[in-house]
Amino acid sequence: MTKRALIVWGGWPGHAPELGAKMVAGMLASEGWATDLSDDFADLGRAAEYDLVIPNVTGEEIDKTVARALSAAVRGGTGLAGFHGCIATSFPASVDFGYLAAVRFVGHPGNIIDYRVNITRPHDPLVEGIADFDYRSEQYYLHYDPTVEILATTTFSGEHDPVTRNVTMPVVIKRQFSAGRIFWSALGHTPDEFRHAPMREILRRGLLWAAR
């Protein structure tokens, strides 16, 4: 049976949400998936109809009934996945969405910088065979739920903000949410980062893992 994904895009144009949504749709299509793309946040309320939902949205607001329907769908087995601004920056005023997302962006000292990504669970199938790697992008500083499983991290040098010196933050996480699975990667600030092979492969594996 063909798996189905819903990709909802919108918000701050600096993350190129429509293009990013189309690139992820292409990744899933190459795996034999059917994908629906939408710029209507209300469609997230139909999440239970899908195997996987990807809210490629930076900022914006979500109706409470829609957020609760999305949360119920994930509890029931629909997967939730995202990269960079997806999930971590989506619908910041929604308590219901924040409780589901389990990861919140709070800053990126230095903006676009070079940093190191360290694989912390090398035997996990989502990162197995991928070595530590250098990356150039926004180095995300986060608030995150203690229930997440951290698969990769980055350590802040403190060069751009002394408060962050030697602080280690998640880069790739997964989470079990009742019957549903949640995957998120901090990588992918702009679509050109999809050319980075480890970033793209981790995202591909994560999307497939999260699916119902």
The structural domains of the chain, ordered by start, are 4-210 (3.40.50.880)
pTM score above 0.95: yes
Mean pLDDT of the chain: 98
Spatial distance between the Cα atoms of 122 and 129, rounded to a whole number of angstroms: 7
- How confident is the model over 80-129, as pLDDT tens digits? 999 999 999 999 999 999 999 999 999 999 999 999 999 999 999 999 99
Mean per-residue pLDDT, 27-36: 98
Spatial distance between the Cα atoms of 116 and 186, rounded to a whole number of angstroms: 13
User: How many C-beta atoms surround the C-beta of residue 169 within 10 A?
Assistant: 17
Q: Is 90 exceeded by the pLDDT of residue 1?
A: no
Q: Is 90 exceeded by the pLDDT of residue 162?
A: yes
Residue 194: its pLDDT value, please? 96
Farthest CA pair distance, the chain = 52
Residue 212's pLDDT band, with cuts at 50, 70 and 90, is confident
Q: Is 90 exceeded by the pLDDT of residue 47?
A: yes
What is the share, in percent, of the chain residues with pLDDT greater than 70?
100
Identify the three-state secondary structure at position 17: helix
Q: What residue has token string 């996480």? A: 173
Q: Is 90 exceeded by the pLDDT of residue 193?
A: yes
